[in-house]
Chains A and B, each alone.
Chain A
Amino acid sequence: MAAEDEGEEEAGFLDGVVTAIPRVEVVRVSGTICCAEYQLQVKRRRGDSWFVLRRYSDFLTLYERLPSDLHAPIPPKSWRSISFLSMTPEFLEERRVALEVALRRLAISAVQSDVVVQADLRAFLGFPPCGGAGRLAGVDSHVARYLIRLPVDLELSLPARAMAPVPLLPNLRVAMWMLLSGAAHKASIAEDREQYAALVSVTDEADWCRRGGSAKDYSLAARALETIRSDVNRTNVSSSAERERMRRVLRAFALKEPRTAYCQGMNSVALFLLRTAGGREDVAFWLLVSLATDVIRGHWEQLSHIATAGAGTVTIRMLLGERTPDLLEHLDRNLPPEVLLCDFMLSLGCRSLPPTTLWRCFDLIFSEGGDALVYIAFAVLHLAEGNLVVVQGAPATSEALANCTASMQDADRLIEIARSEMARGVDHSGSGTASADDRPPPFGVSAPFSRHRPP
């Protein structure tokens, strides 16, 4: 379905799009105000609409990336916003109006902009799957889809050479991933100081600044380095050389993308990419960069941010509610899907699925874009449903899922479900607002004794 829409949609996805910011809400953590979230409403010409939550700092980040000739200034950063105490309703309302005006202007002036700007805006406005990350690399998505479905034995050369650094890419699959995710493109145009080898050789802050990096970026990355070190030491690897490789890739990534820097689960992903790439660190590095900045852009930041529910988990809840309400109800009684899938979402399945299945899942993610992850997670739950509904209690539920995923060798089935669900899509209209009020109460509180009564 997505394939047919694409032609007209991708050319000018902003055509006829109406944006608004109907609400702004203050987010409290432990009673203190932590930030304010603006609710963006996006309406498309074809009639569907959805909501996304964005913070003021998200606007700033977007504007940093946009070319300066797009004239739609946003309200400046105020000294008042430094102190959260001053987030008064009047202040927020004023800013909301200003942001709304800016956003409308931006949507109009960006219609004719280039691919990169459009990709940024797409992600910012929370558009549904952009029809393959391959587009970012300039690969025609139809070609990409055709290639990825070719019945080539993609694992041909992998196992034997898995660990040794080899001069050639170990298999066609990795080449495809590089191409589809835009990693190849990125690697080919990276400036000298952004090359993998250069990033690895950075010794300290002074060195980093001498090469033209900013001190602020380094301090952001440095905060993550400690975490990376401890997490790398706690990852199961086959050799100390592999551990060292993984550490270098993650460290280089933190320096390259200091805003994301590191999030738990990324270590497993890096290890998986390294192994798939036959130990080629630079390949794993660029794949990780493309993954985090384009394919599943914002995924890790959202999951690790204290105040936002990951967008993916909201979609999974909607999917479950729509397709298998019984399972959702059962999970809410025992262990809500957000919690159950937390590990899976953070590590993109790398900690739970067997590698052969994982390859296929990444094929899908790289060819169809980040939303595929949500549908894969849904497919996993769907396949595990039989085992999940027979157990009670949180520990048993989590264990049942772990057992199921570990033995999920039938990748065809998994991918087929994910694909078909993706083709059906999810009804975005208005349901993005499924707020905390609509959600069933959490485990324990909502489970009165009598609900366990057998029929």
Chain B
Amino acid sequence: MVRVVDQMSASCMAGCSYSSSGDRVYTLKFVLVGSRGVGKTRLASLFHRKKSGCPSAAVGMQFGTRTLRYSDSLSVRAQIWDTAGTFAFKSVKDAFFGGTVGVMLVYDISKRSTFDDLARWLSLVRENSHKSVALILVGNKSDMSTTQREVSMVEGMRFARKHGMDFVETSALRGLHVEEACRQLIMSVARYLPQDKCVWSKKKVRSSHD
């Protein structure tokens, strides 16, 4: 996994800045993908901590950022790109996946078809983003009663294990495990970022980044 840093360094470094105390703050890009209506926008807005009623459907793309502290000297400014589920246009695919370090694949546990679509989404991700991009599988709407459930937890886990992803079931409606899912994804990337306080290049970097 060390290659993550090596190979992604170009895009990561471009997003590195320094806080007043010399801490590193990385701006990292994460994307949410999944079929329409699985709750991507609601997941994202929970994570950005926006007050949300029922969000209207995302058309095109929506963005949000939030800063998380990883260690004493390192923070991550997570930039989350939320896209409409019907959205896979050729003209914008590059822009959407370019520089992405983490992907959240979302499906709806009460809708079989959204789970079946995962393979397609995954291949889209594999095709367009870096091969060592961090992935997490999210089964949303876990608040649904067992009778409405169409995809079992074991199935989700199996799919995740098969493709080397983390897995979590969330309920964006109740706000269950959403924070954990996002943190898990972000931290799995942040682990590979240089930790040390950066003193030597502080001045130089600043002047060129202003």
Contacts and interface: CB of A to CB of B under 8 A. Distances in A.
A235 interface: yes
A235 B81 contact: no
B92 interface: yes
B90 A307 contact: yes
B29 A342 contact: no
A445 B61 contact: no
A444 B96 contact: no
Contacts of B54: 234
Nearest to A307: B90
Contacts of A264: 57, 59, 84, 86-87
Interface stretch (A57-65, A127-135, A332-340): A332-340
Nearest to A232: B57
> SS class of chain B's interface: helix, strand, loop or mixed?
mixed
Contacts of B91: 309-310, 313-314, 338
Given A227-B36, A339-B95, A395 B90 contact: no
A395 B60 contact: no
B95 A309 contact: no
A200 B71 CA distance: 60
A304 B88 CA distance: 8
Contact of B57 (A234, A306, A447, A453): A234
Contacts of A395: 63-65, 79
A342 B92 contact: yes
A212 interface: no
B49 interface: no
A393 interface: yes
B68 to A, nearest CB: 16
Interface stretch (A343-351, A407-415, A425-433): A343-351
Given A234-B54, A235-B57, A448 B62 contact: no
A442 B120 contact: no
B6 interface: no
Nearest to B99: A444
Given A264-B84, A442-B94, A445-B99, A30 B89 contact: no
Nearest to B86: A264
Given A264-B86, A447-B14, A234 B123 contact: no
Nearest to A454: B210
A30 B63 contact: no
B89 A310 contact: yes
Nearest to B97: A442
B99 A339 contact: no
B56 A30 contact: no
A399 interface: yes
A79 interface: no
A286 B122 CA distance: 40
Given A30-B120, A398-B62, A443-B98, A231 B57 contact: yes
Nearest to B13: A449
Nearest to A233: B54
A303 interface: yes
Contacts of B56: 234-236
A452 interface: yes
A239 to B, nearest CB: 16
A314 B90 CA distance: 12
A346 B59 contact: yes
Contacts of A203: none
A346 B60 contact: yes
B90 A339 contact: no
A346 B123 CA distance: 25
B10 interface: yes
A31 interface: yes
Contacts of A309: 89-91
A260 to B, nearest CB: 14
A30 B127 contact: yes
| Interface-centre pick from B14, B36, B100, B127 (highest chain A CB count, 10 A) | B14
B203 interface: no
A347 B59 CA distance: 8
A394 interface: yes
A404 to B, nearest CB: 16
Interface string A310-337: 1001100000000000000000000110
A343 B60 contact: yes
A398 B61 contact: yes
B209 A452 contact: yes
Nearest to B16: A449
Nearest to B100: A444
A444 B91 CA distance: 16
A265 interface: yes
B56 to A, nearest CB: 5
Task: Give the most central of B59, B62, B64, B99: most A CB within 10 Å.
Answer: B59
List 10 A-B pairs, minimum CB-CB distance, nearest first. A444-B99, A342-B60, A395-B63, A309-B91, A442-B94, A343-B60, A442-B98, A444-B98, A234-B57, A30-B123
17 contacts: A30-B120, A230-B37, A264-B86, A268-B59, A304-B89, A307-B90, A338-B92, A342-B59, A342-B61, A398-B61, A398-B63, A443-B95, A444-B11, A444-B100, A449-B14, A449-B209, A450-B208
Given A309-B91, A313-B91, A393-B79, 14 more contacts: A29-B88, A264-B57, A264-B59, A264-B84, A306-B88, A336-B92, A339-B60, A339-B61, A395-B63, A398-B62, A444-B99, A449-B13, A449-B209, A454-B210
Interface of A: 27, 29-31, 227, 230-231, 234-236, 263-265, 267-268, 303-304, 306-310, 313-314, 335-336, 338-339, 342-344, 346-347, 351, 393-395, 398-399, 441-445, 447-450, 452-454
Interface of B: 10-11, 13-14, 27, 29, 36-37, 54-57, 59-65, 79, 81, 84, 86-92, 94-96, 98-100, 120, 123-124, 126-127, 208-210
